[in-house]
Homo-oligomer: A and B are copies of this chain.
Amino acid sequence: MAGNSFGKILRLTSFGESHGAVVGGVLDGFPAGIEIDINFIQAELDKRKPAQSEFVSQRSETDKIEILSGIFKGKSLGTPIGFIIRNKDSQSKDYDHLEQVYRPSHADYTYEMKYGIRDHRGGGRSSARETVSRVVAGAFAKIFLKTKGIDVNAYVVRIGNVSTQRDYRDLDFNDIEKSPIRCPDAKVENKMLELIKKTATEGDSLGGTIFCVIKGVPAGLGEPVFDKLNAELAKAVMSINAVKGFEIGSGFSSAKMKGSEHNDIFESTEDGISTKTNNSGGIQGGISNGEDIYFRAAFKPVATIMKDQKTVDNKGITVNLKGKGRHDVTVVPRAVPIVEAMAALTIADYLLQNLSSKL
């Protein structure tokens, strides 16, 4: 039932199959009169595009955004912002042998069960290519957030069994984009790169974890009960392909803690009320408390591998599947801008929702 939209007031509706003509979206509810820097949006989009380095997929899309509506003389009109990105380098023939085959841990089988029909080329609608629209919409959201002094940053903290333990407050976020795999901890980054290379030679793939922090969110943002800010962030991030886990603040480690350890003590500072610790991850009772909001998302390894696998076709007959096509060893570095985009869209929507809390 219309599962292709995200947000209530600021609302993205996305469309497009991986090997169709375009992927695109409509961003409705974006406030009027905000200056839009198209170059910034293109730059955000460039962050997720394939073939940025030897470490990611070799599909070479130019991924150039075309804005179709909603912008006039460089400013938002308040009307829906339509946009498309053309699919230029889709080599659909690579998928001919998969028309009747259900690839392991892909969505081929489930889409067929739901719809009775599917576009098998490149995964069709289930492809991560769909996230192009998220990044574009997220870039618009970031532009809006910037006018409110809010800043979203994500980076890679784990690839396979290699992870950084450094606190986000000790890292320089300018180092994120300098790293080909978006890990700002240089020592760990090197180990990750080695692991990726090694895994590539094995024809295998890797998962990982992304950390995201949102700074500058004022206290009082969020909705009670079902639409808690953390709940909507969870949905936003869990809707990204390959995400299997989400935790905010102390997350799963909170289950092992005692109340006296976990409670974030309030104190008065020059800037007003704040908390000594931030196990809450900036959200209490579903509403922001003015501290940094931070969370982690776990990505499973890419399902497409270069190793032979057994599977079945749509008649239930066992077939051998040989790895073909162009694929990432790990999607995690490319998923960083997607995580940021979903976080930015969520916060922007909640800022608008919050306008009616009290008048």
Contact = CB atoms under 8 A, between A and B. Distances in A.
Contacts of A174: none
A98 interface: no
Given A17-B69, A227-B239, 18 more contacts: A2-B8, A14-B80, A15-B26, A15-B28, A15-B80, A26-B26, A32-B357, A68-B84, A79-B119, A104-B263, A105-B259, A113-B289, A117-B358, A126-B286, A234-B235, A245-B251, A250-B300, A257-B300
A204 interface: yes
25 contacts: A2-B11, A5-B226, A15-B70, A16-B68, A32-B357, A33-B358, A78-B114, A78-B115, A106-B284, A106-B285, A107-B287, A110-B289, A158-B255, A160-B256, A206-B258, A208-B255, A244-B250, A245-B255, A252-B252, A259-B301, A259-B303, A261-B301, A273-B316, A352-B355, A355-B356
A249 B288 CA distance: 29
A175 B296 CA distance: 34
A27 to B, nearest CB: 9
A22 interface: yes
Contacts of A21: 66, 68-69
A299 interface: yes
Contacts of A301: 254, 257-259, 261-262
A212 to B, nearest CB: 14
Interface stretch (A43-51, A53-61, A176-184, A304-312): A304-312
Nearest to A316: B268
A223 interface: yes
Interface residues of A, number: 155
Interface in A245-279: 245-252, 254-268, 272-273, 275, 279
Contacts of A238: 228, 230-231, 234-235, 246, 248
A113 to B, nearest CB: 3
A263 B305 CA distance: 9
Contacts of A310: 265, 267
Interface in A1-36: 1-6, 8-17, 20-24, 26, 28-29, 31-34
Interface string A156-169: 00101100000000
Nearest to A102: B266
Given A106-B285, A204-B258, A316-B273, A119 B224 contact: no
B299 A255 contact: yes
B3 A223 contact: yes
A307 B261 CA distance: 11
Contacts of A219: 109-110, 113
Contacts of A22: 68-69, 82
Contact of A300 (B204, B221, B262): B262
B247 A248 contact: no
Contacts of A23: 69
A141 to B, nearest CB: 13
A138 interface: no
B222 A114 contact: yes
